[in-house]
Structure 1
Amino acid sequence: MTTPASSLRRLGFLTIGLFDPDDPRAGHESTLEIIELGEQLGFDSAWLRHRHLQFGISSPVAVMAAASQRTQRIELGTAVTPLGWENPLRLAEDLATVDLLSGGRVNPGVSVGAPMHYDTVREELYPQSADVEDFSKARVERFARFVAGDSVREFSGKQGVVEEFSQRVEPHSSGLRSRLWYGAGSLDSAVRAGENGFNLLSSNVVFPEADEVPDFAAVQARQIRAFRQAVAESAASVNLGRVSQGLVVIPTDSASPEQKRRYEDYVAERLPRTREPQGPRGMLFAPDLVGTSEQIAEQLAVHAGFQEVDEVAFALPFSFSHEDYVQILTDIATRLGPALGWSPRSE
């Protein structure tokens, strides 16, 4: 077996938290059980996708709050929360609250840009301000300032007998700012993340530059290197420039023949989109990796993007069953992770 360029230091997983609209509680409970299992298996982190008006987790902050009370060690993150749907000040309050309840285990990942299918929801989401909402990088910079504890107003102090007011977002969680992540898919956004003191979430989607060969792994590796250079050159950096890669991996070591068939069909159905750039920006998708842990480790060892990182949050497929996720996570923790040089964390 090929030896990885460097040992994997931190291992996480990412889930969409799929649920049946006729029984949404069961799907949310399944997600919490999967996070509990992840902690038992020694995973370093569990990450939640953020979905609005779909059948996946719409409130990862609430789910993280619940998970924080059912786990002791595993870190909890979002990958990612689209800030176009959020009031940055209110989101900062909620995340700080959950971070404190969790004992400092929250890793908020965010992105900017207009909400998906904005024209279908704009009048309900921002009925008075849809035409003037700022979905640019300024929105994430405001959010970061609120999390950092910067002043949001001049007014503060005691009013009356019991009312006391603060100039900053409360509660304040002092370590949270250094655990903010930015979901970047382009060279510009990766550099901007480094310049503004964010850690970098790099997923299975990238946007190449006009002068780049459309090779997913090479494009991702270039973005990661540019991010790290920006961190090194930024006087404003408040973190160590962590980078997490999020590919879809499906180990089949302990899978049943029926599971293997479904997994392979799933990957085959999604493969055509990876063969050429998609859309006007030439978006590139990474192929999903399915096979034994040894086979997947061999592929990752020669993946230029993977060679640049020492932590990952492998994405669970969207539409599988709870039992499938148990099998996949168990194989990742007990077989694939160790094959990549990772060791499970203990209490």
Structure 2
Amino acid sequence: MPERGQPLRKLGFLTIGRFAADDPRPGIEETLEVIERAEALGYDSVWLRCRHLQAGISSPVAIMAAASQRTRHIELGTAVIPLGLENPLRLAEDLATVDLLSGGRVNPGVSVGTPMLYDHYKTELYPESHALQDFSKERVLRLLRCLRGEPVSDFAGTVGIEQFSDHVQPHAPGLADRVWYGGGRDSAIWAAEQGINYLTSSVVSIEGTASRDFATIQAEHIDAFRAAHRHPDRARVSQGLVVIPTDSATDDQVCRYREYAASRFDRTTTPQGPRGMLFSPDYVGTSDELADQLYDHAGFRRADEVAFALPFSFAAEDYAQIITDIAERLGPALGWAPAGA
């Protein structure tokens, strides 16, 4: 864990992959170029946000497939694929195929629950069975069984000249060990009990805690995950906050970045909704300032890798400046060294 003087082990970032709905190809190409640039800068990982029925990445597996052929070393993750819109068996086939193409670099982050705005399109997604769908964590377990090569069919053998397997093909060894799950304290404990990895983000639930401090709650969730994991020394935890370095930014960029953070600050002061969702403030400043703030952050001190989230609404040149400063200024201030250095 990165206390002062201890190096951050892995550095990554999360991108939303925005595009123009009336001309999506340039935006999709921009996402692939960002991934290529990230590898050139030495990042350990890039994570793709999944956004259905929006002008963003709706098929992260397809983006990872394309990125796998443009890169050689960087890990490719999803944060997260909502399994309510997926068939775990079919998703397992796609993930395994891309993982093999990438040489074992895929990190599937997943979530469960009723999909957002489900009532508006459930009959298109599941025409005959929308009222019967199970959106519980069992969907994650189904995916894990498929990725681990457990039987999914009661038949294996030859039909005519065709050979059939009783488990998902292709099989990608080790992929199941790179599955990630996010959520609050109960989800952290459940993920640990399944032996999968734990994603934390810029929002936490206050359920099960007396604290109203974001960093303290996030630290409690990570502690609960590690305490429940069978192999805590191998358990991976990734922290994701919105962190915007300004080292090489223009005055105009700095102004816009600070305005963006200020516009989102009110939601960080009070828990939101029935589950008490608490948002983290966004961090804007020089890399030295950000490093000091992160080392004072209880959640950051308990994670050994990060995937800083890029803001939603910035321009391509803003993202280029941010990811460059993170790699060349903030990462080294946190003791991180580029991959292959």
Please give the TM-score of this superposition, normalised by the length of structure 2. 0.97
**Distance in 2, Cα, partners of 1:72 & 1:23:** 29
Between the aligned partners of 2:148 and 2:99, the Cα distance in structure 1 is 13
Percentage of pairs with the same residue: 63
CA contact (8 A) 1:5 1:307 kept: no
- TM-aligned CA deviation for residue 346 of structure 1: 2.2
Instruction: Please give the secondary structure, in 2, of the residue aligned with 1:80.
Output: strand
Q: CA deviation at 1:211?
A: 4.1
Counterpart Cα distance in 2 of 1:56 and 1:212: 36
Q: 2:172 and 2:208 mapped to 1: Cα distance?
A: 41
Q: Which residue of 2 aligns with 1:20?
A: 20
Matched, 1:167 2:176: no
Matches of 1:84 and 1:198, distance apart in 2: 19
CA distance in 1, matches of 2:97, 2:211: 44
Tell me the distance in 2 between the aligned counterparts of 1:211 and 1:30.
Answer: 41
Does residue 240 of structure 1 match 2:234? yes
Deviant stretches of 4+, over 6 Å:
none
Counterpart mapping for 1:91-240 below 5 A: 91-161=91-161, 163-184=162-183, 186-232=184-230, 240=234
Match of 2:244 in 1: 250
Q: Retained in 2: the 8 A contact 1:5–1:301?
A: no
Residue matched to 2:89: 89
Displacement after TM superposition at 1:232 (Å): 2.9
What letter corresponds to residue 341 of structure 1 in structure 2?
G
Shift of 1:240: 1.9
Checking the alignment, whether the CA contact within 8 Å between 1:6 and 1:310 is kept in structure 2 is no
Whole-angstrom CA distance in 2 between matches of 1:343 and 1:74: 14
Which residue identity is paired with 1:153?
A: S
The residue type paired with residue 159 of structure 2 is: Q
CA distance in 2, matches of 1:6, 1:56: 36
- AA paired with 2:177? S
Q: How many residues are treated as equivalent by the alignment?
A: 340
* 1:274 to 2:260 alignment: no
CA contact (8 A) 2:202 2:240 kept: yes
- State whether residues 14 and 48 of structure 1, in contact with CA within 8 Å, keep that contact through their aligned partners in structure 2: yes
The reply on whether 1:39 has 2:39 as its aligned counterpart is yes
Q: How far off is 1:6 after superposition?
A: 3.3
Name the SS for the 2:337 alignment partner: coil
Aligned-residue Cα RMSD (Å) equals 1.5
Change (3 A) 1:107 1:267: same
Q: Separation in 1 of the partners of 2:3 and 2:164?
A: 57
Gaps of 5+ in 2: none
Cα distance in 1 for residues equivalent to 2:144 and 2:54: 27
Contact 1:4 1:300 in 2 (8 A): no
- Tell me the equivalent position of 1:296: 290
